[in-house]
Structures are given as structure tokens and as C-alpha cells.
Amino acid sequence: MKGIQLFALCCATAATSAALPEQYVLPEMGTVNTHALSTGNLYPAIARPWGVGLWTPQTVPNGRERWFYDYTHPRIYGLRHTYQPSPWIGDWGAWSILPLVGRPGTNAAARASWFSHKAETMSPALYRVYLAEFDVTAALAPTAHGAAFRFDYPAADVPGFVVDTFGLGEAALSSDGRRVTGWTRGYTQPKKYGTNLVQRFVLELGRPAAAAERLPDGALWVRFAPTSARTPVELRVGTSLISDEFASRSLAETAAGFDAVAAEGRAEWNRLLGRVRVQSDSIDRLRVFYTCLYRALLFPRSLGETDARGATVHFSPSAGDVRPGPYFGGTGFWDTFRALYPLLNFLYPEMSAQMMAGLENCWKESGWLPEWSSPGLVDCMVGNNSASVVAGAWLDGVRGGFDINELYRALVHGANNAHPTMKSVGRLGVEHYNAKGYVPRDVGINESAARTLEYAYDDWCIAALARAIGRPREEIDLYASRARNWRNVFDPARRIAVGRNADGSFNAAFDPFAWGGDFTEGCALHYTWSVFHDVEGLCEAMGGRKEFERRLDEIFALPPKFTSTYSHAVIHEMREMQVMGFGQYAHGNQPIQHMVYLYDWTDAPEKAGRRARDVMDRLYAPTPDGYCGDEDNGQTSAWFVWSALGLYPVCPGSGEYATGTPLFDRADVSLPNGRTLEIRAPGAAARRFPAAPAPRVRRADLLKGGPLLFGSAR
């Protein structure tokens, strides 16, 4: 009964705040997943935009499990603090809190409570659930460095809660019963993070506890004295990666109490999501759009903390001590350079500037720019795409609080060196690439064609940045000439990207359907398009505009077959391509996500909009299985946000966006310069495809504000 009341209350709130975008966000979108098939590989992230930690209900028993949430599971094991950017990377600093009554079970599985999504409120700034086993309603409202909780306990039974550090930390109650102080390493993939990261937390109890007891599995049970009437207890938590003192200082974020924290969180989300205002009669489209925008504002996480003098400092995962300034972690540039960072630069450049300052700190502390950070350097994927992220920010006009010359030095270092142990940091195979113009496939380096293609684009980024900051001519020319290296893995006979041997011959056993090998999580059919900076050149190399268009069409017409070079045969990205019904257009992974917009370089640019609309309509849904593969830290969501606005950054850093067709008749974008971009596409919502004003538009023109009209008046 309690649950039904909560649900009704939630709906009433939504109806009275219809203009506020946060109400359309569905944190559960993309949360039904297995190792074999991803529909997002997400958990409901209850969090502040770019805050340090995230919170989520945990619906699997083992806290060390990386797939710790699945929407279809009927029991909750705790409200979990997490930093996990992706289950493939794993978690760190994880722990959970579970309110309950009576003596708890001796392990997580024995303590869990049944629950129903019908008795649950899920939104970015507030999570509330009825824990049926205990007749307790638990609510949480996150801050940047903590959260406020409210646990509504029934009368007469012994109210309490369990703090579980999953055997990787500990927690203790203070002698006055008012605070629980704890720490955890909480690693689910220990080898990836080093050993010095410790998450500290201080829980302040709104009512003094009566006692605490360590359970057989190491979790701490804290109990209150029973009450004669239903009584809520508020708890506030502050966290830190530095010290208990910093964690205590974080408690200030929740000083105003639960309701105020929840209201402040909702206001913050509305303020940020509200920079794009779309009109639609379709609640489904509003939900997908704002859910995607919300996912684009979560990662990377800002690890900065405020010291006693009010300055921002951070715990450096590389240096192992406290350093000045901001720091960010929890993103993989191989995924996110494509659409996410251009979106942040366009809509939230003040955050991009902080992220650049964070990258500068990472460079100074580790000697490298990260390619995957969580929060230190993580060895995952390929490439050197920090070049796109850094150059793209500067060329998109991001300024303030960082030294671009220092970051340029970092790019040049990364472009000319391989990390001694990590294959994805710097450039593996750089000695071959710089000597021959490509990474050979037969020198013991995997994914050689993919590396070559990405290095070539990254070199274009470095050249463009070098030009913008006035570097010497020969330096600009060097990188500009390396930017043409994509041609070295383009087989002119087969007219497709093919791995190449050290002697110059192309792979004789080439199979266009083969995933892995010379490519990364995809095949040549997907990777050949990775010439973001020279689409004209690729078009010519393929045989001209007509042939280029035919090849684009062919991707959708080919069967979704695959052959595998992986030892474990089928990776989930293959399966996701196979089941989608889009032929070889594997939108569930990143390499091909810009491809539909390449029609803008053909004589049929309207196909870009039609294909993009098809993808928006069929591969995104406001449901728990609503994505078509790993969402990947805002990238697959940023694709939707751009596409719904009728735009896409095919080549980050170019100052140019390809056009498609908007999803909404009207969208108003608040630009950082105070102007408003008014995207108008009459008829768009009614399944027409208003034509773009031009195949590509300049960023500088959009920043002037005013109308951008799709579709003629016919």
C-alpha cells in the first residue's frame, strides 16, 4: 500500500512541473544487461552532474560484482556508492548502506529486501524505494561529495542500517553514537588502479545510535532504540579520497537537510538540462532526449575537493598524494572524443575548461595524458585520442584555467612515445608509424590498422592546434603530413582499409567481416570511415561521390554477419550489431557512429537525416533496455542529443558540424555567449524529414544565435 501512495505522489509532482526537464530523465534506461548482450551496460546513476561519486541501488548480492545492477532483479542489497564508469573497467571506492529492522542476516544475500519498481521513485536527484521486507522507505539525495538519506522506520521493531564495505574496508561507530566513520578500497578490478586509492566516508546520524555490531561478513550493523510511532531518521554522508577531515568537511553540502538537498539537486539538473529546450507532444521523445542529455553530464567525474582554505585540491592517483587544482576521472577517450566532448564544448564550455585543467594536472603528475582514466591511467582500448579532446576544446573556443602550451607539449609527447607498460597510453608502435607511416600488422602489435587510422586523425588534431597556437611551420607541416597516413592502410585495389605488413604488402587473407585482428572491436567495414578529417580524400579514394554513396548504402544492406579473431569468439558488440536489424551499421559501438553523416559529402545529403532519424527511432527507447549497446560514458547519448538537434560533429576540432534532420519542430539552445540558437524544423515531429539548410554548418555561424531553419516553406 505504501508503494502505491509513493507512486501517486511522484506522478502528481511531475504533472505540476511539466516545464522542467529533469522530470523526463529515466535513470533506468539501459539497465538490463548481461555479459553477452548490452542494452547500455548502465546502472541508474543517482548523482549530481560531474560530482565525484554516484549512488545506485544494488540488485545483485556480491558487492564486488561489476554488473551490480539489473533492472529485472527483484531484491535490493543496499544503496551503493560507486565510481564505476563501465562494468568492463570495474569499480573502486565502493560501499553500501542498507536500512532495515531487526537483527540482519549474516551476509548480503540474507539481508536483502524484496522491492517493486511500482514502489520506487527514480530520478537523477532523488531515489526512493519501499523495502518491503522491513516496511522501511529509504530515500537518498546525492551531492557532489556525499548524500543525504532519509529512512522511514516502522514502530516497535529495532530500526537500524548496515554499512557494507564488501570486505575491502571497515566502518566503526563513534563512542557518542552520532557518527560512523569508514574507509574502503572497494576495488572490483584491483590490478587496474594501483593500491593507494582509499575512499573515506563520514556518516552523521540524525539520531544517536544505541549500539553497533560487526556482522560475520565484516559489515557493520548500527541500530537505534525502537520508537512507539513511525519515525524517519536522516543521515548525512560526506566522502573524500584524501582524509577523514576532508570527508567531514563534505558534510557541509548536506547541512540543510534531506529535502533541501533533493530540491537543490533537482534545480541543478534543471538548470543544466534546461540549456536545451525542446518541444514535443511525445513524452517518449522527451524522455529519451533528456535521459541522453543527463547521461552526457555524468562523466568524467570531478575529483576535486576543497581544502581548509577553500582551494581546490585532489588526490593524485598517479603521484599518490594530494596536489593542487582539479582532476577528472572515469572516461575513455576512444569512445568519448567523438560526440561527447564536442557537446560539452558547445553547451558547457566552463566544464570543458575545468576538464582541460584536470588533464594538465594528470600530465604533470603521471607524465602522460590518459586515454582511459578511472581515475588514474587505465590500459584499455587503443589510440591517442586525447589529441582530439585537447585540440577540440581549444579549437572550439574553450578557455580559462589551463595552459594550452603545456597541454600541447603533452600531446607531442604522447604522439611520439609509447608507454612502457600500457598499450593504450601514448602510441604503441610509434617507431614504425613515424618511420613507415603506418603500424605494421606483423610486428607483434594488434589492431594495427585501427591504430594507424586513429593516429592519423590525431595528427591532424595536433597540426590544427599547432597552427592555432602559433607553433613553428615545420612542426605544423610534420603533423599535417602524418595526418595523410590513413592512406597507408587504405588498399587502393580493394578500396577499403586493410592491415598492412612491414614489407608494404596488404593482408592477403583479408576478410571485411573479421572483427579484431587489425581492427578494434569492429571490422574493416566499420573502420574504413575513420577518416574524420579528410572525408573528401576518402571519397576520392573509394572512387568518387557516387561510389562513396553506394558504399554507405551497402553498409545497411549487407547482412550482419561477422567472423571473429578473438579467442572468446563472440564479443557482445557483434551480437548487438547482429540483433539490431541495421545490417553492418553497428551503432552499438563507437567506430561507425559518425557514418550516417558522411552522406553530407555525397549528392544525397538528405539520406543523412533519414538514416539518423531511423537510428533515433529504432535504436533508442525510454525503456530499461533502451540503448543498443554500451552507452559508454555519454558518447552514445551525445550522439542522440546532437542528432535530435539536426547536427553532428563528424570531425571534432574542425569547427564544422554535419547536418541531419531534427527530431523536434522547435529546439532552443542557450549558447555560452548568452545568445539563443533557435532550431526550427516545421513538421519534423510528424515523421517528415525537413531538409538541412546546408550539408554542413560552421560552429562560428551557430554561435551568432538566431534561427537555424530546416525545411523550406513548400
Which region among 272-280, 283-291, 392-400, 587-595 touches Ca ion (by CB under 5 A)?
A: 587-595
As measured in angstroms, the least distance from the Cβ of 62 to Ca ion is 25
Report the C-alpha gap between 40 and 68 in whole angstroms: 14
Closest to Ca ion by CB, 22 vs 335, is 335
As measured in angstroms, the least distance from the Cβ of 630 to Ca ion is 4
Closest C-alpha to 554, from 517, 624, 607:
607
Cα dihedral 488/489/491/492 (nearest 10) = -30
As measured in angstroms, the least distance from the Cβ of 435 to Ca ion is 31
Asked if 413 and 390 count as a contact pair (C-beta separation under 8 A), the reply is no
Q: At 578, is the secondary structure helix, strand, or coil? A: helix
Q: Is 630 in the site for Ca ion (CB under 5 A)?
A: yes
Report the C-alpha gap between 522 and 381 in whole angstroms: 12
As measured in angstroms, the least distance from the Cβ of 589 to Ca ion is 5
Q: Applying CB under 5 A, which of residues 632, 644, 654, 665 lies at the interface with Ca ion?
A: 632
Q: Is 41 in the site for Ca ion (CB under 5 A)?
A: no
Q: At 539, is the secondary structure helix, strand, or coil? A: helix
Q: Is 631 in the site for Ca ion (CB under 5 A)?
A: no
As measured in angstroms, the least distance from the Cβ of 515 to Ca ion is 13
Q: Which three cell numbers stand for residue 237?
A: 554522508
Q: How many CB atoms lie within 10 A of CB 18?
A: 9
Closest to Ca ion by CB, 586 vs 692, is 586
Closest to Ca ion by CB, 254 vs 589, is 589
Subset of residues 298 to 317 that bind Ca ion, contact rule: CB under 5 A: none
Handedness of CA 686, 688, 693, 697 (dihedral sign): positive
Report the C-alpha gap between 266 and 248 in whole angstroms: 24
Which residues, 6+ apart, have CB-to-CB distance to 144 below 8 Å?
48, 51, 52, 253, 302
Closest residue to Ca ion, based on beta-carbon distance: 630
Closest to Ca ion by CB, 555 vs 592, is 592
Asked if 232 and 153 count as a contact pair (C-beta separation under 8 A), the reply is yes
Largest CA distance in the chain: 84
Which region among 48-56, 63-71, 175-183, 632-640 touches Ca ion (by CB under 5 A)?
A: 632-640
Subset of residues 432 to 451 that bind Ca ion, contact rule: CB under 5 A: none
As measured in angstroms, the least distance from the Cβ of 88 to Ca ion is 9
Closest to Ca ion by CB, 234 vs 521, is 521
Q: Is 589 in the site for Ca ion (CB under 5 A)?
A: yes
- φ, ψ dihedrals at 138, nearest 5°: -110, 135
Closest to Ca ion by CB, 30 vs 609, is 30
Closest to Ca ion by CB, 146 vs 629, is 629
Closest to Ca ion by CB, 298 vs 702, is 298
| Strand ranges (E), 584-692 | 647-648, 656-659, 666-670, 676-680
Instruction: For residue 375, say if its preceding peptide bond is cis, omega within 30 degrees of 0.
Output: yes
Q: How many CB atoms lie within 10 A of CB 444?
A: 8
Asked if 630 and 381 count as a contact pair (C-beta separation under 8 A), the reply is no
Q: At 669, is the secondary structure helix, strand, or coil? A: strand
Closest to Ca ion by CB, 30 vs 104, is 30
The length of the chain, given as a count of residues: 714
Which region among 67-75, 506-514, 582-590, 688-696 touches Ca ion (by CB under 5 A)?
A: 582-590
Which residues, 6+ apart, have CB-to-CB distance to 482 below 8 Å?
434, 437, 455, 456, 459, 463
As measured in angstroms, the least distance from the Cβ of 75 to Ca ion is 29
Q: Is 38 in the site for Ca ion (CB under 5 A)?
A: no
How many positions of this chain bind Ca ion (CB under 5 A)? Answer: 3
Strand partners for 43: none
Which region among 54-62, 534-542, 589-597, 698-706 touches Ca ion (by CB under 5 A)?
A: 589-597
Q: Which three cell numbers stand for residue 19?
A: 516545464
Closest to Ca ion by CB, 555 vs 663, is 555
Which region among 310-318, 406-414, 427-435, 588-596 touches Ca ion (by CB under 5 A)?
A: 588-596
As measured in angstroms, the least distance from the Cβ of 381 to Ca ion is 9
Q: At 11, is the secondary structure helix, strand, or coil? A: helix
String marking each residue 532-571 x if it binds Ca ion according to CB under 5 A? ----------------------------------------
Closest to Ca ion by CB, 437 vs 522, is 522
As measured in angstroms, the least distance from the Cβ of 317 to Ca ion is 23
Binding site for Ca ion (CB under 5 A): 589, 630, 632
